[in-house]
Amino acid sequence: MVLNRAKILEKQIENYVLTIQKCGMIFREAMKEYLSGSLDLFSERVTKIKNLEGKADKLRTQIEHKLYTDMLIPDSRGDVLGILETMDDVADEAQRLILIIDIERPYIPESLKEDFLKLAEYSENAVDELAKAVMTFFVDIKTCNGFINRVYFFEGEVDKVVERLKRAIFSSVEITDFSKKMHLRYFIDELADLSDLAEDVCQRLAISIIKRSI
């Protein structure tokens, strides 16, 4: 009976992690469509990521309820809850970023689009590797650190693109209005937050791995 409940919990966690992973993928595709001017497709992504984020919230609530009512994994329940909650921040941020872009519709010069796309791709890579790290934490903890290191790598790549974009924007003669430069800088910082949040979850994972090894 306990084994069955544990299996159900494991499946719910897997569905939750896959939903967060999909949020990262939708974020990347939405950015591609916005940058290419495919605004109808972009609007569809806005709706889809709202639905996914809502699904993630429901799954997390179900998992939390099961952890307490079925008294499963009591020794590491706090760590698991902390990991799931910070993962939820990743889904929230992916949705928030797309909504901000949908509302404010920033002007991105053609010369900067490639790096904005890289920013989105590296951020999605970080979320993807995070999802793999969390899954292995529950099923094969020995391989977890490899995925954690990849998240750190992609977060570092995001930082490089952020610096390059900011230098390009503030030295640009194409963008003459300082307020537009500040608006773009704001969006760059917002986009970089997604990989930062993925890194935050990995720091929790790393601590939990150390606890389990003691």
pLDDT digit string, tens, across residues 145-173:
999 999 999 999 999 999 999 999 999 98
Residue 103's pLDDT band (boundaries 50, 70, 90)? Answer: very high
User: What integer best gives the mean pLDDT of the chain?
Assistant: 90
Q: How far is CA 109 from CA 68, 117, 164, 174, 213, in A?
A: 51, 12, 15, 8, 50
Alpha-carbon distance values, 72 to 37, 56, 58, 77, 154 (Å): 49, 21, 19, 8, 34
Predicted confidence at residue 152, as pLDDT, reads 97
Q: Is the pLDDT of residue 67 over 70?
A: yes
| DSSP structural state of residue 143 | G
What's residue 213's pLDDT?
A: 73
Pairwise pLDDT comparison (67 vs 208), residue with the higher score: 208
Percent of the chain with pLDDT over 90: 68
How far apart are the C-alpha atoms of 133 and 141, rounded to whole Å? 9
Ramachandran quadrant class, 175 (left: phi over 0; alpha: psi -120 to 50; beta: rest): beta
Q: How many other C-beta atoms can be found within 10 angstroms of the C-beta atom of residue 138?
A: 16
**Going from the N-terminus, what domains does the chain have, and what CATH number goes with each?**
2-213 (1.20.58.220)
Q: Tell me if residue 64 falls in helix, strand or coil.
A: helix
The pLDDT of 98-116, averaged and rounded, is: 94
Q: Closest Cα to residue 200, out of 158, 160, 148?
A: 148
Which class for 195: exposed (0-12), middle (13-18), buried (19 or more C-beta within 10 A)? buried
The pLDDT confidence band at residue 106, using thresholds 50, 70 and 90, is very high
pLDDT, residue 80, reads 82
Residue 74 has pLDDT above 60, yes or no: no
